[in-house]
Amino acid sequence: MDFCRQASNKTAEAFAQPQQYLRLYGEFVTKNASTVSQIEGALRSLTYIIPGRFRDAEIASESIHSGVQLLSLYHDSLLARAVAQLPPLQRPHPSPHSRYTRFWTKKSPTYKRLALTLQVIQYTELLCEMAAKRRGEKSRWRVVVLLEFVKAVCRILLLRLTNSRPLLSPPLPQREVDPSTLEDKDVPLDGMISPPSERSEETNWTMPRTGLSLPTLPSSSDISTYLLSKVLTADDIKPPKALLHRVTGKGEMAELLYIIRPVIYALAMQYWSGKNRKAWQPWILGLSIEYGARQLAKKDLQERAGGLRGLTALEKEELRKRGWSMGWWLMRGAFYEAFTRSWIQSTTSKLRNKPLLDMVGGIIEDYEFLWDQYYFPTATL
């Protein structure tokens, strides 16, 4: 019996140690958020200059990039948890995107899991394509089609979970808090707020009865900016769910077309790339579906009560993002092979032997290899 008890105690300690290390790491990230953000930025910048420097450089570069992105995703959750534990007056004002996505992640665990799965795939898809390409073009296109299919299924399920509301990119809340605001506050990750005596006494005044902290007033030169940051708009007082209208009929069809377009385009590329890499059929098919979905969505918005003027700020932002993303068709398929590649090559040749510009041209030449050889560098979904 003593042996069994000792074994169970050792097992419990073994399971408790990783949790303790995670808690300590979380506290370190929260208390040194600015430094951690700078390190993340430096590692991302490193991935911009690695391609083309040595053998298999693209694999090394993308491995670092995917690892940093996944680690940043974990850091986002830690910082969001720390911000949620701050007193209401000290919390930063969230953007409509954060309010909406945070609402659904809290309301639906399934939404959170699907959105997280989608985000992880997007951060690692190019690395998966690079690994598959080593086994041949057929394996590469099978992986591409499979990943696009899984992402489309996740998006369709998210569309159903949100009661047919358009999808946002990204589907998870983004890091919007200023990291330095957390470093001055002792915010543990176990859900308990430290007593007033243990808090930083640098800037805030603590009310003796309630224990709440009041933020300091801004400097006289910054009063206008401070007041503008506190102004409420119509979207600020809306429930998070009302920041995106539900789509029906033509709008829902447009959203479904927008979701399945990458799958159809990847299948077309898989079919025609083996025959003729410069074939125009996949490019025309993919662009037609995306453009048709956009026009169908605009027509639905015009027929809806209020029309385009009735859009919320979040809907306008997402519509603008999708419009800009169509510019990536200049970097895809037959159009890239026929026009864009030669234009890039002529531009980089003009930058050679010129101070600073030569370095920019070298980086563009290194990335030309990725645009030329892989599918996901120009993917927008």
What DSSP string describes 224-292? HHHHHHH---TGGGS-GGGGS----THHHHHHHHHHHHHHHHHHHHHHHHTT-TT-SHHHHHHHHHHHH
Domain finish residue from 278, 306, 324: 324
Q: Computed over its alpha carbons, how large is the radius of gyration of the chain?
A: 25
Longest dimension (CA), the chain: 80
Backbone angles phi, psi at 238, to 5 degrees: -80, 150
Q: Are residues 126 and 44 in the same domain?
A: no
Q: Are residues 44 and 164 in the same domain?
A: no
What integer pLDDT is reported at residue 183 of this predicted model?
Answer: 57
Q: Are residues 98 and 83 in the same domain?
A: no
Tokens standing for 189? Answer: 């990750």
Domain finish residue from 287, 302, 324: 324
What integer pLDDT is reported at residue 198 of this predicted model?
Answer: 42
Is position 84 within any domain? Answer: yes
Eight-class DSSP state of 213: E
Residues 6+ away with beta carbon under 8 Å from 338: 278
Stretch among 128-132, 136-140, 350-354 having the lowest mean pLDDT: 350-354
pLDDT at residue 3 tops 50: no
Q: Are residues 53 and 79 in the same domain?
A: yes
- 295-308 per-position pLDDT tens digit: 999 888 888 756 67
What is the sign, positive or negative, of the torsion defined by CA atoms of 89, 90, 95, 101?
negative
Q: For residues 187 and 80, give the distance between their C-alpha atoms in angstroms, rounded to a whole number.
A: 12
Helix (H) or strand (E) holding 322: helix 313-325
Tokens standing for 215? Answer: 């933020």
Q: What is the mean pLDDT of residues 321-349?
A: 91
Question: What confidence tier does 197 reach under pLDDT thresholds 50, 70, 90?
Answer: very low
pLDDT at residue 194 tops 60: no
Torsion, Cα 26 194 112 68, to 10 degrees, reads -20
Q: Are residues 142 and 169 in the same domain?
A: yes
CA 323 to each of CA 3, 294, 380: distance values in angstroms, whole numbers, following the listed order: 67, 8, 11
Q: Are residues 281 and 303 in the same domain?
A: yes
Q: Up-side HSE of residue 346: CA atoms within 13 Å toward CB?
A: 5
Domain finish residue from 324, 340, 371: 324
Provide, for the chain, the percentages of residues in helix, strand and coil under a 3-state DSSP scheme, each rounded to the nearest 5.
70, 0, 25
Stretch among 54-63, 103-112, 238-247, 337-346 having the lowest mean pLDDT: 54-63
Question: Can you point out the beta strands (E) in the chain?
Answer: 205-206, 213-214
- Coil/strand/helix, residue 182: helix
Q: Are residues 80 and 25 in the same domain?
A: yes
Tokens standing for 27? Answer: 């506290």
More confident residue, 257 or 371: 257
Is position 218 within any domain? Answer: no
Q: Are residues 124 and 246 in the same domain?
A: yes
Q: What is the mean pLDDT of residues 342-355?
A: 84
Supply the angle between the helices 109-133 and 137-161 in degrees, to the nearest 10: 170
CB neighbours of residue 283 within 10 Å: 22
Q: Which residues pair with 214 in a beta bridge?
A: 205
CA 127 to each of CA 61, 101, 198: distance values in angstroms, whole numbers, following the listed order: 9, 27, 46
Q: What is the mean pLDDT of residues 359-376?
A: 81
Is position 60 within any domain? Answer: yes
Backbone angles phi, psi at 33, to 5 degrees: -60, -40
- Residue 108: which domain range? 94-174+238-324
Q: Up-side HSE of residue 141: CA atoms within 13 Å toward CB?
A: 13
Backbone angles phi, psi at 355, to 5 degrees: -55, 135
Using omega within 30 degrees of 0 as the cis cutoff, is the peptide bond preceding 109 cis? no
Burial 153-185 (b: 16+ CB within 10 A, else e): bbbbbbbebbebbbbbeebbbebebebebbbeb
- 248-296 per-position pLDDT tens digit: 888 999 999 999 999 999 999 999 977 787 899 999 999 999 999 999 9
For the purposes of burial, counting CB atoms within 10 Å of the CB of 101, is it exposed (0-12), middle (13-18) or buried (19 or more)? buried
Q: Are residues 145 and 69 in the same domain?
A: no
Is position 74 within any domain? Answer: yes
Please report where in the chains the tokens 């990119």 appear, as a residue. 169
Q: Are residues 166 and 25 in the same domain?
A: no
- 44-101 per-position pLDDT tens digit: 777 766 655 555 677 888 888 899 999 999 888 888 888 777 776 667 778 899 999 9
Q: How many domains does the chain have?
A: 2
- Coil/strand/helix, residue 205: strand
Q: Are residues 27 and 144 in the same domain?
A: no
Q: Are residues 58 and 161 in the same domain?
A: no
